[in-house]
Structure 1
Amino acid sequence: MRVLLLGTTGNVGSRLLPALVAHKHEVILYVRNPSKLSAGATSCATAVVSGSGIDSDSIKAAILSHHCDAVINAAGLAPVLRKSGELPAIFAAVTKAALGAREQRGGAPLRCWFLSGFGILDSPRKGHMISD
């Protein structure tokens, strides 16, 4: 499958990328800041798209231009201790983009997975917490 992955630079997304590649998926990285991507992430990606996780038009354009079969949203932290974040807006934007892309191109619906990070879990980067 061709998979659009949001949140590659975070804890969850950085763990998903190698698993997707190991299973022979073509992964298009959708990131807010491409300079935060590791060389390893960039080298195994099919493409890198820069954009905001709350911009449904940009997400939809990435889905359509890269002929994605699926979208995995790993962007945004789950609200912790009653602090809100962009997670609800990101989920809404990705949902709107996936529905719009499906409507525009027709055919089978996109497969979508919605995940969230949790700010106090250990990071794969030694010596750091996700909230650091």
Structure 2
Amino acid sequence: MKIALIGATGNIGSRILKEALNRGHEVTAIVRNPSKLAYNSPKLKIVQGDIFDSDQISGVVKNSDVVISAFGPGMSDTDKLVKATKALINAIKASGKLRLIAVGGAGSLEVGDGMLLVETPEFPSEWKAIAEAHKEALALYEKEIGLDWTNISPSAMIEPGNRTGIFRISTNKLLIDKNGTSRISMEDFAVAILNEVENPNFRKTRFTVGY
């Protein structure tokens, strides 16, 4: 497939890029600074782009089968996430009937009795702003009736780790293992995203993965 990937130089985006190329897909990596992407492959095309420029992104992705956004602002720039989401939605709609898969956050996942993870007393205060931004971005996708979108949330803890290909899937419930931990490796998170690219099961909805 032809995949357009936004945020390919990030921690999660770089894993998505590797997973996609290893599966034989053609990837157009859209990055702000191409010099930061030290990755060579005959199936990789690197394009300098700005997610906030809807017209530019629309032109770059128009010949793709699916667009994956792993855009992640810094902790001090959380307001950029909602702005980027709005611009990306406009770009995808302008490009025709493209599929969009966007990396979301864990904070909006349910933990029981209608409570969200971000609303729990234990949720780290320093992560609340980005969690709320991801929650707002998800709400924007849910309003887009005509958009073919998927939002995938990680578990509460996502870190570099092993690629096992073995994990559980949920829709809106936070996944917790037998030890009371909610976690997923970045490598297996990338696996889940590419599985959804190849075999869509969650169109126009959100899902999450965890051990």
Common fold, TM-score beyond 0.5?
A: yes
User: Any gaps of 5 or more consecutive residues in structure 1?
Assistant: 103-108, 125-132
Give the match for residue 75 of structure 1: 71
The TM-score with structure 2 as length reference comes to 0.47
**Greater C-alpha radius of gyration:** 2
Sort the Cα spacing of 1:27 and 1:121 in 2 relative to 1 into closer, same or farther, 3 A: same
Give CA-to-partner distance per residue, 1:29-83, whole Å, 9 cap, x none. Answer: 0000001111x2x43553111011111111001012xx101000001237x5x86
Write the distance in 1 (CA, Å) between the matches of 2:42 and 2:12. Answer: 17
Give the match for residue 19 of structure 1: 19
Write the distance in 2 (CA, Å) between the matches of 1:29 and 1:112. Answer: 15
Q: SS where residue 86 of structure 2 aligns?
A: helix
User: Any gaps of 5 or more consecutive residues in structure 2?
Assistant: 106-126, 131-156, 162-211
Write the distance in 1 (CA, Å) between the matches of 2:77 and 2:33. Answer: 24
Sort the Cα spacing of 1:116 and 1:37 in 2 relative to 1 into closer, same or farther, 3 A: farther
Give the match for residue 2 of structure 2: 2
Q: SS where residue 112 of structure 1 aligns?
A: strand
Q: SS where residue 55 of structure 2 aligns?
A: helix
Give CA-to-partner distance per residue, 1:88-131, whole Å, 9 cap, x none. Answer: 111111111111000xxxxxx2111111578996468xxxxxxx
Give the match for residue 114 of structure 1: 102
Identity %: 34
User: CA RMSD for the aligned pairs?
Assistant: 2.7
Give the match for residue 100 of structure 1: 94
Q: SS where residue 52 of structure 1 aligns?
A: coil
Sort the Cα spacing of 1:45 and 1:77 in 2 relative to 1 into closer, same or farther, 3 A: farther
1:23 is displaced (CA, Å) by: 1.9
Higher strand share: 2
Q: Which runs of 4+ in 1 moved over 6 A?
A: 117-120
Give CA-to-partner distance per residue, 1:2-42, whole Å, 9 cap, x none. Answer: 0100001101100101111122211000000001111x2x4
Give the match for residue 91 of structure 1: 85
Sort the Cα spacing of 1:69 and 1:84 in 2 relative to 1 into closer, same or farther, 3 A: same
Query: Could you tell me which amino acid in structure 1 is paired with residue 72 of structure 2?
Result: G
| 8 Å CA contact 2:25, 2:43 repeated in 1 | no
Bigger drift between 89-98 and 43-52 goes to: 43-52
1:84 is displaced (CA, Å) by: 2.4
Write the distance in 2 (CA, Å) between the matches of 1:34 and 1:52. Answer: 12
Q: SS where residue 59 of structure 1 aligns?
A: helix
| 8 Å CA contact 1:53, 1:93 repeated in 2 | yes
Give the match for residue 130 of structure 1: none
